[in-house]
Copies of this chain bind each other. A is one copy, B any other.
Amino acid sequence: MQNPVIDVLRNHRSIRKFSPQTLSDDLLDQLVLAGQAASSSSFVQAYSIIDICDPEIRQQLQRCCSNQAYVGEAARFLVFCADFHRLQLAAEFQGIDPELGFTEQFLAASIDAALVAQNIIVAAESVGLGGVYIGAIRNKPKQVTEILALPEQVFALFGMCLGYPDQNPEIKPRLPAQVVLHRDVYNATQYTRELDNYDRVTAQYYTQRTQGAVTTGWSQQMAEKLGKESRPDLLEHLQSQGLAKR
């Protein structure tokens, strides 16, 4: 099925190399409006976006993000935050002492932010921009919180680089649809066979893309990742921000 919207969605590649062309404030505002149009859980709109313009702050964040060069190089670097601080203030303005710290609130805020971000990257790609999500902003949550002066109830979920692409990578093969789409109940019976096929496809993809530097398939890469701890200081940081405490 083809239409201009589905074409943009299906054509997504993460872009990590950008031309020097800038991205105007006007265009950014349009992208943000498209982002804001996404659904929000009970309309809480529990997200904030921080547009990092100051080169010094950008450099500090790049260092927090495993020093990924594109964090510094992209025309724009946005940080998407789960944000219950604004809601806390709104409640207090109304004379209500808010009940905060629920995992439900943090989850709703995180999903809100993700929906907004996805609209923004889709809108960006529709006008010829490219981008990449930066999960590495969660590497050093305490430093990022200080750099961005995040108050309690705010957490930097992920970054996003945006700019005009200076590369044209292949589309990465996704899991077979029958692996992610279940009918009526969760069904893992097809995993063994399908993952086996998928591992062959992805091994070929990585071998080609990295000129043989990476030859492993998806399962092997995932196994390696899951063999290690995964940002073990995150929960403590969230709770120090007053989030996900109960």
In the complex, the answer to whether A50 meets B183 with C-beta atoms within 8 Å is yes
The B-contacting residues of A in range 104-148, CB under 8 angstroms, are 104-105, 107-108, 110-111, 114-119, 121-123, 125-127, 132-133, 135, 138, 147-148
Q: Are A114 and B108 in contact (CB under 8 A)?
A: no
What is the distance, in angstroms, from A91's C-beta to the closest C-beta of chain B? Answer: 4
Is A222's CB under 8 angstroms from B90's CB? yes
Closest to A56 in B: B184
- Within A1-26, the residues touching B (CB, 8 Å) are 1, 3-6, 8-12, 14
Complex Cα spacing A76 to B124, Å: 29
Closest B residue to A192 using CB positions: B93
Chain B residues positioned under 8 Å from A210 (CB to CB): none
Q: Is A170 an interface position by the 8 A CB rule? A: no
Distance in angstroms between the alpha carbons of A107 and B100 in the assembled complex:
19
Chain B proximity mask over A73-114: 1 for CB below 8 Å, otherwise 0 = 000000001000111111101111111101111011011001
From A44, A81, A132, A223, name the one whose CB has the most chain B CB atoms within 10 angstroms.
A223
Knowing A149-B186, A223-B94, say if A180 contacts B32 (CB, 8 Å).
yes
Each complex incorporates copies of this chain amounting to 2
CB pair B122–A50 under 8 Å, yes or no, is no
> What is A's interface to B at a CB cutoff of 8 Å?
1, 3-6, 8-12, 14, 27, 29-30, 32-34, 36-39, 41-45, 47-54, 57, 81, 85-91, 93-100, 102-105, 107-108, 110-111, 114-119, 121-123, 125-127, 132-133, 135, 138, 147-151, 154, 157-158, 171-172, 174-175, 177, 179-186, 188, 191-192, 195, 218-232, 234-235, 238, 244, 246
**19 pairs, CB–CB < 8 Å, chain A vs chain B:** A4-B126, A6-B127, A33-B177, A36-B180, A44-B222, A48-B182, A50-B181, A51-B184, A86-B195, A89-B195, A90-B191, A90-B226, A96-B224, A100-B226, A102-B234, A103-B231, A103-B234, A104-B231, A110-B110
